[in-house]
Amino acid sequence: MKDPKGYILSFDQGTTSSRAIVFDRSGLIVGSAQRDFPQYYPEPGWVEHDAEEIWECQLAVARDAIANAGVEATEIVSIGITNQRETVVLWDRDSGKPVYRAIVWQCRRSTAICEELIASGLEEEFRVRTGLRLDPYFSGTKLTWLFRENMALRALAENGELMFGTVDSWLLWKLTGRHVTDVTNASRTLMFNIHELKWDPLLLSFLGVPASVLPEVLSSSDDFGVTKAHLFGREIPVNGVAGDQQAALFGHSCFKAGMAKNTYGTGCFCLLNTGDVPVRSNNNLLTTVAWKIGDRVTYALEGSVFIAGAVIQWLRDELKLIESAPESEIVARSVPDTNGVVIVPAFVGLGTPYWDPDARGAILGLSRGANRAHIVRAALESIALQSEDLLEAMSGDYGKPVETLKADGGATANSFLMQFQADISGVPVVLPEIAEITALGAAYLAGLRCGYWSSPEDIERNWQLKSRFEPDMNDKTRKRLLSRWHRAVSATREFKE
Ligand code: ADP
């Protein structure tokens, strides 16, 4: 039955695909569409997108999602946007055309610039103001690179002829003609002061970025403009914007301080709501803006595991130990333990709390009886063990343990993994009924602003439990497994070319 109050359309603009989902008031999916778009790798370690291709792909899936939902554009009351974070788009103010390929968050081209800023003793200055590390991952040094490499672009920027934006900002420009972004996306750029909630002139001067290129920063639940009428046949307001991980935290209804979520995809992204306090990390976590609604800002601690579900792809594609990801669960359950085998999947270095880019993976503890099932089980355990390191770092910084972990992402389909996470972390792990939690978060932010949902409590009522995993491991075993894991990590980090 059609909802007389209409629907919310959510854009989920990811790194490899664009998705659009139409949600109803219960937070249920009424229709959706998804399309991949091209990736460009012009040099080793470089990753680019074509911003026009992102836009065309996003617009197409938005129209498809409305059609698949069987609703009219007139029934869409608001649009929410969530997006791949940190990716840099630079476009011409007059023509609206991108002046360079989008430089993707994964791109390492500004490594030398980061090293230079660190050598100048500026890391602490950036950390205090932005909550981030001086790593090529974040937007700022990607812009520095562009303005250093291309003097013509630099001149245009200094003349006020260019606009910079993360992907949300680019989509908002195309949709509404406004040059705006939200605080969560701004907080990933290395240029935004997360305490004052303003672009930081000192950091801009260190990075060599003219302030004229920057978008206006709005709250995450705000009036971002209305879509140009020709796009959907009518003007639709855009009322919610947040980076993908922050949107997922919101989509899980982690509204209160102390609530955390972990997304188990290719890698893991764990965020802990720390309330109105930007907690400084002593454990290599990032401090970031979770969202701003009205005048109230909420902060989060964030950590990431680089290789999570990817270790299962590796078992399947490289070692050929399994034929599919779901098979990993059956194989892991065929043995009572890993028989002493530990896998440290540091294929691209180790993330939080180690931040060791030079570490490489290892399989340790092999004995004559070690078999395929032990290796598969150890690989799954490594996902949870790395996540436990994140949770431990978070509770250390926050001063309190995480009480419940809300989980989403493709690898949550693996119940062995979810149970092992609950066991090794000593914390219940819960899965929501709705899988598209990131898109839902953006929809909630939009719907809150336009009155579709009246309050966070109204939204919380939508949260439906799919499954819950209670910790069920004795403390002695837990400590033994953790100690073995940490010794394996140390040994792995010791071994470097
Ligand atoms: P991303 O958004 O990063 O592309 P997804 O959330 O789509 O990731 O999850 C895909 C990842 O989850 C893959 O790395 C895959 O190996 C892993 N995965 C999917 N199903 C399972 C499963 N049943 N057991 C373990 N890992 C799984």
Q: What is the pLDDT of residue 332?
A: 98
**How are beta strands 260-264 and 405-408 bridged, if at all?**
parallel
Measured in Å, residue 313 CA sits from the centre of ligand 1 at: 8
Residue 237, C-beta contacts closer than 8 angstroms, at least 6 positions apart:
77, 78, 79, 223, 224, 225, 226, 227, 450
Atom in ligand 1 nearest the alpha carbon of residue 329: 24
pLDDT digit string, tens, across residues 184-199: 999 999 999 999 999 9
Q: What is the per-residue burial (b if ≥16 Cβ within 10 Å, else e) of 26-50?
A: ebebbbbbeeebeeeeeeeeebbbb
User: Is the previous residue joined to 210 through a cis bond, with omega within 30 degrees of 0?
Assistant: no
Look up residue 468 and give its amino acid: R
Ligand 1, atom nearest to 264 Cα = 6
**Which residue has better confidence, 360 or 444?**
444
Angle at CA of residue 200, ends 194 and 201, nearest 5°:
175
Which tens digits make up the pLDDT trace of 415-431?
999 999 999 999 999 99
Residue nearest atom 18 of ligand 1, based on CA coordinates: 411
Phi and psi at residue 93, in whole multiples of 5°?
Answer: -60, -40
Q: Average of pLDDT values for 301-319? A: 93
Minimum-distance ligand 1 atom for the alpha carbon of 312: 16
Contact 435 CB / ligand 1 (< 6 Å) = no
Question: Residue 349 forms beta bridges with which residues?
Answer: 347
Tokens coding 469:
């995993």
Residue 300, SS3 per DSSP? strand
| Nearest atom (ligand 1) to Cα of 14 | 2
Distance, in Å, from the CA atom of 72 to the CA atom of 249, rounded to the nearest integer, reads 30
Reply yes or no on whether the pLDDT at 30 is more than 70.
Answer: yes
Cα 261 to middle of ligand 1, angstroms: 16
Query: Do 7-236 and 254-432+464-497 fold alike per CATH?
Result: yes
Residue nearest to atom 7 of ligand 1 (CA): 410
Is it the case that residue 2 has pLDDT exceeding 80? no
Q: Each residue of 436-445: pLDDT tens digit?
A: 999 999 999 9
- Residue given tokens 């230079």 in the structure block: 116
Residue 164 has pLDDT above 80, yes or no: yes
Over the chain, what is the mean pLDDT?
A: 94
Question: What is the CA(411)–ligand 1 centre distance, in A?
Answer: 4
Distance between CA atoms of residues 257 and 297, nearest Å: 12
Contacts of 103 (CB under 8 A, 6+ apart): 47, 48, 87, 88, 109, 142, 145, 146
Distance 382 CA to ligand 1 centre (A): 14
Top mutation candidate among 312, 415, 416 for ligand 1, by most atoms within 8 Å of CB: 312
What is residue 278's predicted lDDT score, i.e. its pLDDT? 95
Distance CA 315, CA 371 (A): 13
pLDDT(77) > 80: yes
Residue 31: phi and psi, rounded to 5, are -170, 155
Q: Is the CB of 169 under 6 A from ligand 1?
A: no
Question: Where do the structural domains in the chain lie, given as residue ranges?
Answer: 7-236, 254-432+464-497
List of residues 6+ apart from 44 with CB closer than 8 A: none
Percent of the chain past pLDDT 90, that is, above it, reads 88
- Smallest Cα–Cα separation from 78: which of 227, 178, 295, 290? 227
Find, among 374, 386, 366, the residue nearest to 332 by Cα.
374
User: Is 410 near ligand 1, meaning CB less than 6 Å away?
Assistant: yes
| Cα(195)–Cα(278) distance, integer angstroms | 8
Cα of 272 to ligand 1 centre, how many Å?
Answer: 22
Instruction: Report the atom number in ligand 1 closest to the C-alpha of 16.
Output: 4
Helices marked H in 51-110: 51-69
Task: Decide: residue 367, CB within 10 A, 0-12 exposed, 13-18 middle, 19+ buried.
Answer: exposed
Say if ligand 1 is within 6 A of residue 266 CB. yes
Task: Give the residue whose CA is nearest to atom 1 of ligand 1.
Answer: 265
pLDDT tens digits, one per residue of 173-184: 999 999 999 999
pLDDT, tens digit, 9 for 90 and up, residues 216-259 = 999 999 999 999 999 999 999 999 999 999 999 999 999 999 99
The percentage of the chain sitting over the pLDDT mark of 70, rounded to a whole number, equals 100
Task: Give the three-state DSSP class for 483.
Answer: helix
**Nearest atom, ligand 1, residue 408 CA:** 6
pLDDT the model gives residue 1: 64
CATH code of the region 7-236: 3.30.420.40
**pLDDT of res. 125:** 95
Q: Which pLDDT score, from 0 to 100, does residue 16 have?
A: 85
> If you average pLDDT over residues 267-274, what whole number do you get?
95
Closest CA to 167 of 37, 340, 297, 27: 37
Compute the distance from residue 124 Cα to the ligand 1 centre, in Å.
Answer: 36
CA of 376 to the centre of ligand 1 (A): 15
| d(C-alpha 198, C-alpha 181), whole Å | 12
Report CA(309)–ligand 1 centroid distance (Å): 5
Q: With CA atoms as reference, report the closest residue to 225 among 282, 168, 280, 183.
A: 168
Tell me if 401 sits within 8 A of 207, measured CB to CB: no
Q: Of ligand 1's atoms, which has the minimum distance to the CA of residue 326?
A: 23
For ligand 1, whether the C-beta of 438 sits within 6 Å is no
The sign of the torsion formed by the CA atoms of 361, 364, 370, 374 equals negative
Does the CB atom of residue 328 touch ligand 1 within 6 A?
A: yes
Pick from 151, 155, 173: nearest CA to 163: 173
Distance CA 470, CA 270 (A): 19
Say which CATH class 254-432+464-497 falls into: alpha beta
Distance 88 CA to ligand 1 centre (A): 26
